[in-house]
Amino acid sequence: MPDTEQGYGAEYEHQHVHSVYERIAPHFSSTRYKPWPVVEKFLRELPDGSIGLDVGCGNGKYLAVNKNIFIVASDRSPNLVAIAGQHQPHSALVADALDLPYRLSFYDFAISVAVVHHLSTEERRVQSLKAIFDSLREADASSNGGRALIYVWALEQKESRRGWDEGHEQDVMVPWVMKDHKKKPKDADHVAEVPGAQTTHYRYYHLYRKGELEHDVSEAGGIVLDSGYEKDNWWAIVTRSATGGINHIDPPA
Amino acid sequence: MKLLTLNFVTCARKSCKTLPAAFPLHPRDAELEIVEMELNPKFLVNILPRVEWQALRTVCQELGLPTLPDIMPVQQDLLQPPSLPGRESESQEGEAEGEGGSEEEDALQKPSQTAQDLHRVLLETTIANGKLVCGACGHEYAVKEGIANFLLPSHMV
């Protein structure tokens, strides 16, 4: 279990999230092509010409959804960004979710799908949400503020293969199993008894319990417009509050 | 990295993000590459008002590209007027005409030379290799094979 110290959290994530994705990138990418319905709908309903972010874009599967908007996508893994960068008209770059290179109060929308749950302390999760909200356009007389869709893995998923549910430990290491290429056909006698060799990589996750995403969003200065549960995940659509963002003042302890 | 994207990013350091000097980032030792892409006039019309024009001019100048006009083109500059005289385009608007209506619209959306030039600059001109330098803190971000890397060394976080 990581403690709350910033430097340690970053080091921990480097070891148990970033370097794992870097190693599993091509295999991971080949399994990630189907967009989640809530995310797809969010992107399709944006007005043409909207400009937004995909924070933690992975292989960029959401960049294929809508070509009439412009997405600046980012991920911590250069190997995944190289794959994401192929989706025109969009753009992809390498950046850390806690140090985003984006203009403040500028973007019409943002999505962050299956990313925030990789941060190992609540403080860092809230910081990453705040970094996203700070980049959203503020509401003014003529328009609503920008909107972000945040999507995280749920603790409550007893129907899933993993079987976690309420009461389970929320900080978990999840295996990613890469099977090596199948046995060569007709290749000698040892083939039958050697099961396909495989490598297992463990990634760190913080599983969100019911209500926790809304709590973190609010801590980060966001206002939840809508939220729900979709297939083992919690999601929230968020706008930034008028007083939130960069001038947010922490209440006295 | 596309020049359009460069117009939407700034230094990744929190202490720089509120400083005017951190935007735009300045290309250095940049190797440019044209990555061709289909021109979508509506996309261009929609995106253009969001471009910080003076920042784009600065970047183009620093890259040694042709000078852009002082003032940002407007929507009318991007679309060629209908080539056939006597078309009653205005009276057609708002009427559901199915296929016929959209053809008419397409004819009206033909991109002008200005649109083609802007498409080339914003979407097809990319920084393939080089650096992006923050005007506030001086930090250099590397661009390799078209991908900019904004990860900060741990002492800068």
Partners of residue B126 on adjacent β-strands = B2, B33
Who among B12, B45, B47 is closest to A99 (CB)?
A: B12
Is the CB of A72 less than 8 angstroms away from the CB of B1?
A: no
**A192 lies in a domain?**
no
Within a domain: residue B20? yes
Please report whether residue A187 resides in a domain: no
B101 pLDDT band, cuts 50/70/90, is: very low
Confidence of residue A184 (pLDDT cuts 50, 70, 90): very low
Q: Which chain B residue has the Cα nearest residue A88?
A: B37
Q: Do A82 and B42 touch (CB under 8 A)?
A: no
- Which pair of structure tokens corresponds to residue B17? 């993000």
In a domain, A81, yes or no: yes
Window 110-129 of A: residues touching B by CB (8 A cutoff) are: none
A positions 127-166 inside 8 Å of B (CB): none
- Compute the distance between CA of residue A109 and CA of residue B33 in angstroms, rounded to an integer: 29
Helix axes A212-219, A122-135, angle to 10 degrees: 60
Instruction: Report the predicted TM-score, pTM, of the whole model to 2 decimal places.
Output: 0.84
Which of B123, B141, B146 is opposite residue A89, by nearest beta carbon? B123
> Looking at the complex, does the CB of residue A89 fall below 8 Å from at least one CB of chain B?
yes
Chain B residues whose C-beta sits inside 8 Å of any chain A C-beta: 1-2, 4-5, 8-14, 17-18, 23, 37-38, 40, 42-43, 45-47, 50, 123, 141, 145-152, 154, 157
Is the Cβ pair B4, A94 closer than 8 Å?
no
What does the block give as tokens for A250? 């922490």
What's the Cα-to-Cα distance from A136 to each of A44, A73, A178, B146, rounded to whole Å? 18, 14, 38, 26
Phi and psi for A118 in degrees, rounded to 5?
-90, -10
Q: Does the CB of A14 have a partner CB in chain B at under 8 Å? A: no
Cβ(A152)–Cβ(A230) below 8 Å: no
A211 lies within 8 A of chain B by CB: no
What are the pLDDT digits (tens) for A166-179? Answer: 888 989 888 888 87
CATH of the domain at A124: 3.40.50.150
| Cβ contacts of A106 on chain B, cutoff 8 Å | 8
> A59-112 pLDDT, tens per residue?
999 999 999 999 999 999 999 999 999 999 999 999 999 999 999 999 999 999
The residue that leads in pLDDT, A173 or B32, is B32
Instruction: Count how many residues are written for chain B.
Output: 157
pLDDT tier at A29, thresholds 50, 70, 90: confident
Residues in A closer than 8 angstroms to B134, CB to CB, are none
Task: Quickly tell me which residue has 């192929």 as its tokens.
Answer: A86
Per the structure, the complete domain to which residue A116 belongs is given by 3-156+207-239
Residue B93 has pLDDT above 50, yes or no: no
Paired sense of beta strands A51-55 and A109-113, if any:
parallel
Q: Mean pLDDT of all residues in chain A?
A: 86
Predicted local confidence at residue A174, as pLDDT: 87
Q: What is the CATH number of the domain that holds B15?
A: 2.20.25.10
Q: Name the residue in chain B with its Cα closest to that of A104.
A: B17
Strand partners, A3: none
d(CA A215, CA A176): 29
Asked whether residue B132 is assigned to any structural domain, the reply reads: yes
Phi/psi zone of residue B138: left (φ > 0), alpha (ψ -120 to 50 degrees), beta? left
Q: What is the pLDDT of residue A216?
A: 97
CA distance A225 to A129: 15
Q: Which of A183-197, B102-116, B121-135 has the lowest mean pLDDT?
A: A183-197
Hey, is the C-beta of A79 within 8 angstroms of any chain B C-beta?
no
- Is A202 within a domain? no
Cα dihedral across residues A62, A68, A69, A75: positive or negative: positive
Residue A253 is predicted with a pLDDT of 46
A198-206 vs A222-230, strand pairing mode: unpaired
C-alpha to C-alpha distance for A118 and A204, rounded to whole angstroms? 6
Structural domain harbouring B9: 3-73+108-156
Note the pLDDT of residue A245: 43
A94/B150 touch (CB, cutoff 8 Å), yes or no = yes
What 8-state DSSP symbol labels residue A175? E
What are the pLDDT digits (tens) for B7-25? 999 999 999 999 999 999 9
Question: What's the CA dihedral at A41, A227, A56, A161 to 10 degrees?
Answer: -90
Picking from A76, A101, A107, the nearest residue to B11 by CB comes out as: A101
Q: How far apart are CA B110 and CA B42, in angstroms?
A: 10
Tell me the two tokens of residue B83.
Answer: 């080539």
Closest CA to B56 of B124, B105, B6: B6
Using a CB-CB distance cutoff of 8 angstroms, which residues of chain A are in contact with residue B123? 89
What tens digit of pLDDT does each residue of A207-237 get?
999 999 999 999 999 999 999 999 899 999 9
DSSP lists the bridge partners of residue A71 as A52
Contact criterion met (CB < 8 Å) for A94 and B8: no
Any CB–CB contact under 8 A between A51 and chain B? yes
Question: Domains in chain A: how many in total?
Answer: 1
Phi, psi of A110 (to 5 degrees): -150, 145
**Is position A178 within any domain?**
no
Could you tell me the CA-to-CA distances from A114 to A155, B49, B70 in Å, in that order?
Answer: 13, 32, 43
Number of domains observed in the structure of chain B: 1
Burial of B30 (0-12, 13-18, 19+ CB in 10 A): buried
